[in-house]
Every structure is written in structure tokens, then in C-alpha cells.
Amino acid sequence: MPIAEEGVEMPGEFCRALPSNNPIEWRVWAEGYRSVRLDRDDFTASPEGLGAKVSLVRGFDATIRVLDFGDGIDPDDWAGRFAAISHPAVAGAEIRGDGAVLARTGADGRAEIAADREPEKIEVVAPGWRTAACWNLAGGRIVAERHDVLVWMVRE
């Protein structure tokens, strides 16, 4: 999707229909801006299909999920990492940016962080746990265009 400066409308075709019986979330993001999440209620129908208007705000945001890696899965095994997506959450983990606490994970292991700029270093810290593997986070930096991060931890 093309990126526009604030106040400029960019026409685009997202989809013709949404599944009627499943929850759905769309996310619009661009480098240097915070993402916007849309659900079914944010879309309006027109003769051309379904559409939504969004306004992006400059800044940084990310979604970080922290999960219990369990035991018996090799951190270098991608199939094992995929299966580990359904592992139990680690609640109360601190998400730190440049040493400052930006957020803590909830009962679902999820933390949403937002800041004026991307931190130089992002860390996930939980007492009694250590990081086993990460997806989209390396050397304290998010390494993917879309700022969704998974961190798997094991008990010390």
C-alpha cells in the first residue's frame, strides 16, 4: 500500500469482503509511524467494496508476546518454534527500551509498547526466567518491518 503524508488520501483496494464468522484484524504501518489496528467495525461498504480511512502518527510501536518455551524443543528448530506459539504465556515480564520499563506483559503474555522513537535496545526481563529464542528481535533490535515480536523464555 502506498504511504502518504498526513492529510493526503491514498486510494487503495484492501479487499472485497471479510469473513462473516471469524474475528479479523488489519494493521496499517509504515516506517517512522505508529501502527493503526482495524477490526470489522472500522470498515465501511461502498459499491467498490470495503474500505477504511486511517491516520498514522509519527513514532514507534510494537507488540511483544512472551511465552514459556518449555523443554524438549531445540531453539534452532523452526518447526519447534512454530509449535511453541501455543505455549503458555509469561505474565509480568518487563519490556525495557534503553533500560527504561516501557510495558509489562499481561496474563496473555502480550505487551504493547509505544514511544516517540524506536529504542536503541529492547530487552525482555522476567525474574526467574531467561530468554531461549526470539522471533523478529536480534541484538536488542526489531529486525522486521512489521513490529511483531515473539520471545520464548525458559525457567532458570
Q: Which residues pair with 133 in a beta bridge?
A: 152
| pLDDT band per the 50, 70, 90 thresholds, residue 116 | very high
| pLDDT band per the 50, 70, 90 thresholds, residue 6 | very low
1 and 76 together in one domain: no
92 and 137 together in one domain: yes
Q: What CATH number does residue 149 fall under? A: 2.60.40
112 and 130 together in one domain: yes
pTM here? 0.72
48 and 97 together in one domain: no
Which three three-digit cell numbers place residue 63?
Answer: 507488540
| Burial environment of residue 124 by CB neighbours within 10 A (0 to 12, 13 to 18, 19 or more) | buried
27 and 82 together in one domain: no
71 and 25 together in one domain: no
104 and 36 together in one domain: no
37 and 101 together in one domain: no
Count of domains observed in the chain = 2
Print the domain residue range for 98. Answer: 60-155
Q: Which of 58, 77, 102 is the last residue of a domain?
A: 58
Q: Over the stretch 56-97, which tens digit does the pLDDT of each residue have?
A: 899 999 999 999 887 656 657 767 666 667 778 899 999 999
35 and 90 together in one domain: no
Percent of the chain with pLDDT over 90: 40
Q: Which of 30, 58, 86 is the last residue of a domain?
A: 58
67 and 128 together in one domain: yes
145 and 87 together in one domain: yes
